[in-house]
């Protein structure tokens, strides 16, 4: 059975690159009906923090990556590492330097392993120094604890970032010295920023919760992350998680770095918003607005449902809905200055708005079809294009030149609010 693990160190928030590593492991496990296990590499007591662990686990859950079995904490296993290190000393494969235990590297040997992505990797032991296994403070080194744990946890495939590729020969050496069965390795390319170089804070958000904050849906982020270094072999880009599970294979991951492209992520997000059934999207928008402290006592679910229906085609991120909320539930509008100049401050603007207002007042029935009909009729009477009425009205009732269909907006806002807003400009 396939058993993979994700092994974060709780010394910082979940980085976008690590989330992608976790995802490839999770997908590989799911695709093969295997297990996805978490190991917390908290050997550095000073830097490991409970809040980081909570955040990492929360981010994984948010991205639908549930895990199997109990968490393994390296900090609880120091005695085990020590026992194995002392065994190596007994066998004369390691020696002590004070309380530290060091593995002796035999020179003039070749260490080779098969990487599922990079093929055969071979290094000479002449390039490897003796390896510290246990430090003088009693804590294990990463390479040592990793090997013991991967072996004891019966991990079959180690899928991790390319940045560990130079550690792997050192680990292989330890597997051989301890006669432990060797797992398979796959080193996945790093996520690079657009200008090249590793994704870092400078290039935008790096922690997963920052993406949540920016209004990305976890479905879209999972989809986007899966395409960072992997493709299903056709041009498809919208791949829901069930599809990914079906199609993903680690051996199809590229060797070269994947470039992070914010525009593409935004596009994928907009597709998910557009295609998501309203019943599923609605609670997500409400939760987001609550988190952002935008939702207030003016909120009305029935009206918000209509708003989201009207706007979902053109919403890129949930963040876009903050200003939309203010249009429909706020007391004061923020007017786009240029739009106001262009549509509401021209010599004939007052006249146009006033005629529109009269038309709205005179409607026997107030719904989008009747409003549209009245506007078309008015345009005919005024011998102008309907657009010459639509643009100023839109700016007067929403403060903006873009948005959902005007007549939808007017219907949702209700006649009183529309008249009041138009009244300000005539």
- Contacts with ligand GLU by CB under 6 A lie at 7-9, 41, 146, 160, 164
Q: How far apart are CA 20 and CA 227, in angstroms?
A: 9
* Cβ atoms of 363 and 330 closer than 8 Å: no
Count of all residues that appear for the chain in the document? 426
Q: Which residues does 198 contact at the CB level (< 8 Å), separation at least 6? A: 17, 190, 191, 192
Of the candidates 155, 104, 109, the one whose C-alpha atom is nearest the C-alpha of residue 130 is 104
Least distance (Å) between residue 41 CB and ligand GLU? 4
**Which residue, chain included where needed, has tokens 């199609």?**
247
What is d(CA 132, CA 142) in angstroms, rounded to the nearest whole number? 10
Residue 37 C-beta: closest distance to ligand GLU, Å: 12
Residue 33 Cβ vs ligand GLU, minimum distance, rounded to whole Å:
22
Nearer to ligand GLU, 15 or 357 (CB): 15
Q: Which is nearer to ligand GLU, 150 or 411 (CB)?
A: 150
Q: Report the nearest approach of ligand GLU to the CB of residue 174 (Å).
A: 13
The alpha carbon torsion through 347, 351, 354, 360 (nearest 10 deg) reads -120
Nearer to ligand GLU, 150 or 372 (CB): 150
How near is the Cβ of 402 to ligand GLU at its closest, in Å? Answer: 43
User: With respect to ligand GLU, which residue has the nearer C-beta, 8 or 229?
Assistant: 8
CA distance 270 to 314: 7
As measured in angstroms, the least distance from the Cβ of 302 to ligand GLU is 47
- Minimum distance of ligand GLU from residue 221's CB (angstroms): 20
Is the Cβ of residue 9 or residue 393 nearer to ligand GLU in the bound state?
9
H or E segment and range at residue 37: strand 35-40
Shortest distance, position 219 Cβ to ligand GLU, whole Å:
25
Give, in degrees to the nearest 5, the angle at Cα 111 between 87 and 115.
110
Q: Nearer to ligand GLU by C-beta: 77 or 164?
A: 164
Say if CB 81 and CB 144 are below 8 A apart. yes
Q: Would you list the DSSP string of 341-391? A: HHHHSSTTHHHHHHHHHHHHHT-SS-SHHHHHHHHHHHHHHHTS-THHHHH
Q: Measured from the CB atom, is 43 or 317 closer to ligand GLU?
A: 43
The residue (of 12 and 330) whose beta carbon lies closer to ligand GLU is 12
Give the other-Cβ count within 10 Å of 137's Cβ: 8
């Amino acid at each position: 059975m396939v058993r993979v693990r994700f092994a974060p160190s709780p010394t910082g928030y979940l980085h976008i690159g690590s989330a992608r590593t976790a995802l490839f492991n999770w997908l590989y496990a799911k695709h093969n009906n295997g297990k996805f296990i978490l190991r917390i590499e908290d050997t550095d007591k000073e830097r490991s923090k409970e809040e980081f662990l909570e955040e990492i686990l929360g981010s994984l859950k948010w991205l639908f990556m549930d895990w199997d079995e109990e968490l393994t904490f390296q900090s609880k296993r120091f005695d085990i590492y020590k026992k194995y290190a002392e065994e190596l000393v007994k066998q004369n494969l390691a020696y002590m330097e004070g309380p530290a235990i060091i593995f002796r590297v035999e020179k003039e040997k070749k260490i080779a392993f098969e990487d599922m992505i990079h093929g055969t990797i071979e290094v000479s032991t002449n390039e490897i120094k003796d390896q510290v296994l246990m430090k003088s403070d009693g804590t294990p080194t990463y390479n040592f604890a990793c090997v013991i744990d991967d072996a004891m946890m019966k991990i079959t495939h180690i899928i991790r970032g390319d940045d560990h590729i130079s550690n792997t020969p050192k680990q292989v050496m330890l597997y051989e010295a301890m006669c432990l069965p060797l797992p398979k390795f796959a080193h996945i390319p790093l996520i690079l920023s657009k200008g090249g170089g590793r994704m870092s804070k400078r290039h935008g958000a790096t922690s997963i919760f920052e993406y949540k904050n920016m209004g990305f849906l976890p479905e879209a982020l999972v989809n986007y992350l899966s395409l960072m270094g992997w493709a299903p072999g056709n041009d498809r880009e919208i791949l829901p998680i069930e599809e990914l599970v079906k199609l993903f294979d680690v051996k199809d991951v590229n060797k070269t770095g994947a470039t992070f492209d914010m525009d593409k992520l935004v596009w994928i997000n907009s597709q998910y918003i557009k295609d998501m059934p309203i019943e599923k999207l609605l609670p997500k928008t409400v939760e987001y607005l609550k988190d952002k402290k935008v939702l207030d006592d003016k909120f009305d679910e029935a009206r918000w449902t209509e708003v989201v229906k009207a706007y979902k085609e053109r919403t890129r991120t949930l963040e876009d809905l903050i200003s939309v909320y203010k249009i429909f539930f706020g007391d004061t509008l923020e007017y786009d200055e240029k739009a106001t100049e262009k549509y509401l401050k021209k010599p004939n603007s007052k006249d146009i708005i006033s005629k529109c207002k009269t038309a709205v007042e005179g409607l026997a029935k107030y719904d989008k079809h009747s409003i549209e009909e009245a506007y078309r009729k008015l345009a005919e009477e005024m011998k102008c294009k309907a657009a010459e009425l639509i643009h100023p009205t839109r700016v007067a009732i929403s403060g903006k030149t873009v948005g959902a269909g005007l007549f939808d907006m007017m219907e949702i806002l209700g006649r009183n609010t529309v008249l009041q807003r138009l009244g300000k400009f005539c």
